[in-house]
Amino acid sequence: MINTLQIERMSRKEKLQTMEALWSDLSKTDTEVKSPAWHKEVLKETEARFAVGEEQSTEWESAKRELWKRFE
């Protein structure tokens, strides 16, 4: 089992990789993962901005690459 001291010693890249692995595992059983109540509202707001051209879509793999670059 991993403890908080081990997490503190991880690099940012290692932390992000660990988070991605955890989320990948948790999302395999999506019926058990409940979105928080506020999430529906945020999605509605984003959809509205997208409809009027204030948001752009990005392919998931491209978005992940950009996020990795930003946080490395």
Residues of 10-43 as b/e, b for ≥16 C-beta within 10 angstroms?
eeeeeeeeeeeeeeeeeeeeeeeeeeeeeeeeee
Query: Per-residue confidence at 71, pLDDT binned at 50, 70, 90?
Result: confident
Place of tokens 């990795």: 68
Same-domain pairing of 28 and 40: no
Residue-level length of the chain? 72
Same-domain pairing of 24 and 53: no
pTM of the model: 0.48
pLDDT higher than 80, residue 32: no
**36-69 pLDDT, tens digit each:** 889 999 999 999 999 999 999 999 899 988 988 8
Range of the domain at 1: 1-33
pLDDT score recorded for residue 30: 67
Contacting residues for 50 by C-beta, under 8 A, at least 6 apart: 56, 57
More confident residue, 43 or 33: 43
Same-domain pairing of 48 and 29: no
